[in-house]
Amino acid sequence: MCGIAGIIKKKNGKVNREEIQMMNHVMAHRGPDAEGIYIDDTVGFGHRRLSIVDLSESGNQPMFSHDRKYMLVFNGEIYNYIELKEHLKKKGAKFVTETDTEVIMEAYRFWGMDCTKKFNGMWSFALYDTVKREVFFSRDRFGVKPLYIYESEDELVFASEIKCITAIRPEQKRANITQIARYLAGYQEDMDEHTFYTNIQNFLPSHSMLYDLDTDTGEYQQYWEINVPKFRKKWKCDNPYPKFLELLEDSIRIRLRADVKVGASLSGGLDSSTIVGILSKKFRAKIHTFSSIYKDKSCNEKEYIDCMNQYADTIPHYIYPDRSDNIVQDMQNMLYYHDGPCFSASPYSGYCVYRGVGEHVKVMLDGQGADELFGGYLFFYRAKLKEVLRQNSRIAKLRAVILIASIWKVYPDIARNLATELLRETPMDKKWRQLKKKMRRREQAQQHTRLKYRKKFAEIDLKIGAQDNYSIINELDKELNLQLQYRLLPRILHDVDRNSMARSLEVRLPFLDYRLVEFSYTLSDEDKIRGSYTKYIMRKSCKKYLPEKVRNRRNKMGFPAPFDKWLRDERFRDEIKKYLDAFKYRNIVDSFSLERCYQAHLSGKENWEEQLFRFMMLEMWLQTEIDTEHKKWVYEAG
């Protein structure tokens, strides 16, 4: 796990070594163990190393191949590097280190750009062919590791963090109004190439690029994509439950490969608990676990965390974020590492959990990805109901009623909403429309506050790149794929990488092993959501690794943070209000309506937590990154 950066000059320009040094300095937190620089006239590469595999100096980067044909800067881990290394040796490859870094170069030598199809891991890298004068860029299938590109007529600049680019090109601190509009509208980060900076692009996951230094042109390639028929043929099996467990256990096994101590995050939920259970029971590991604990009951999962720690005989560590007297300052510090405003207060929990972890471990396993693969979020019930009703028959209607009834006792509000969906699909359409109009009028009469955006701002096109995948027919799988590739997961991965690397930690995600992802698309709806149980295949397959209290829990929290209450807390209220008042003058939202929403929240009558949090974070970012000494950024239509 590291940080990479580089500059490619066009038109025979020369790379400035001091600029590479500056980029390295800015991301020193990503790799405090070693620093490296390589300059070859028009090409310059920088690297900061967090030593995980082969801790010797031979693992430092930039790294050359044994014949010095290739040079590589690499951020991430190739978990199956041992198997690939043995395979490549049989083909005649030579190795002089014990690193996975060297395996990437030799894999490229024998397989070219197709080498990425053989990697099981997380990565972003730039590989320089000194003979052909080509640079091969690549990013892992799901975008676990970041890579940003700025390109002009004179140069191409890349880095693991945007701040590395703006540190040497401060004139590129220009706010991307499209991304700001998406953010305030509730869309997630990293959905496509857009970032919060106008001319700095997000290098897309599952993509590679071969850049020719002689012609100054790049050729992109998507090396992996969701293909349901192909996956079903590849992973066909009679009983998916033992196969799922086999894949998950192996995913964890190869993610334990490290020359440093490995620990785990533990939220008390099914995903992180399953990983801890397998580590303890399958691999006999006495591991350190790290958990976020809040006093607020709506955010407190300590009873489940305690249960899992006792069951797995771990070494537990509890972090209490709300004991801080400087939560707003902490969030401003977090903003620096995130290269943009956070979507919600939830990342703050992770930011606090990783604080102090380095005293005990250098690598952590975490459960991200399971919800998006196996239907863990409660809103997936609607997609399943939609799939049931797609059959448009009396039997389908009966199945829908049974589904709603099974959910009612556990989630009555969700069941009520699903019932209205069912009504919408029946011949009672006219009565439904009348009822809906009546309910809307009642809601409008009760709602006293409105949040109004400026007209021109509200008209900004929020269009996102094509998200349809025609190999996916099932309605639940469509929604899962949307959250996996374009909505929730990209933002979560962004948060996990920035929070962990701020503390010089590597986080590995067993559920995002590409084999498990492909396998998930071969499962039926019932394997994912059965009655009121989400992630059913996990609950059944991993029974021997979990206490019943955790395995059967159905209330989901994740890593929440009680920002709604912090808004009313006297310790933080004035400072938060300072940012909200400043934001009123950005010409984005009607200042009068913002104030009414804020006062309604303070009174406890309404909850405007999400919107107020985003306003605060956006104002922090604009003040820190975009405003200049002489000019404060204000939205100007057109």
Q: Residue 57 maps to which CATH number? A: 3.60.20.10
Look at residue 423 and tell me if it is in a domain: no
Residue where a domain terminates, one of 196, 222, 248: 222
178, 62: one domain: yes
Query: Among residues 519, 551, 583, which one ends one of the domains?
Result: 551
Pair 214, 338 in one domain: no
3-class DSSP state for residue 95? coil
Q: Is the domain of 82 the same as that of 186?
A: yes
- Evaluate if residue 628 carries a pLDDT over 90: yes
* Cα 170 to Cα 628: distance, rounded to the nearest angstrom: 11
**Residue 463 in domain:** no
Structural domain contains residue 154: yes
* Assessment of whether the complete model's pTM goes beyond 0.75: yes
Q: Are 254 and 181 contained in the same domain?
A: no
Assign 448 a pLDDT band (cuts: 50, 70, 90). low
The answer to whether the beta carbons of residues 412 and 554 sit under 8 Å apart is no
- List the domain range (segments joined by +) for residue 568: 563-626
CATH number for the domain harbouring residue 245: 3.40.50.620
Whether the upstream peptide bond of residue 62 has omega within 30° of 0, thus cis, is yes
User: How far apart, in whole angstroms, are the C-alpha atoms of residue 8 and residue 43?
Assistant: 5
Q: Where are the alpha helices (DSSP H) in 486-521?
A: 488-502, 514-520
Report whether 385 contacts 398 (CB < 8 A): no
Same domain, 248 and 109: no
Q: What is the DSSP string of 237-302?
A: -S-HHHHHHHHHHHHHHHTT--SS-EEEE--SSHHHHHHHHHHHHTT----EEEEE--SSGGG--H
Same domain, residue pair 258 and 210: no
Whole-angstrom CA distances from 364 to 263, 354, 551 are: 5, 10, 22
Q: What does the pLDDT average to over 557-562?
A: 72
User: Is residue 397 in a domain?
Assistant: no
- Specify if 453 maps to a domain: no
Question: What are the residue numbers of the active site?
Answer: 2
In a domain, 414, yes or no: no
Q: pLDDT, tens digit, for every residue of 152-182? A: 999 999 999 999 999 999 999 999 999 999 9
Same domain, 216 and 256: no
Q: Which of 44-58, 195-209, 450-464 has the lowest mean pLDDT?
A: 450-464
The domain total for the chain is 3
Look at residue 611 in the predicted model and tell me its pLDDT: 96
**261 with 328, same domain?**
yes
Is residue 353 pLDDT above 70, yes or no? yes
Closest CA to 367 of 215, 496, 243: 496
Q: Are 574 and 494 within one domain?
A: no
User: At which of 222, 246, 263 does a domain end?
Assistant: 222
Co-location of 157 and 287 in the same domain: no
Instruction: Give yes or no for a contact between 203 and 139, defined as CB atoms under 8 angstroms apart.
Output: yes
The verdict on 117 and 139 lying in the same domain is yes
Count helices and strands (H / E) in the chain: 27, 17
| 271 plus 370 within the same structural domain | yes
| β-sheet bridge partners, residue 263 | 364
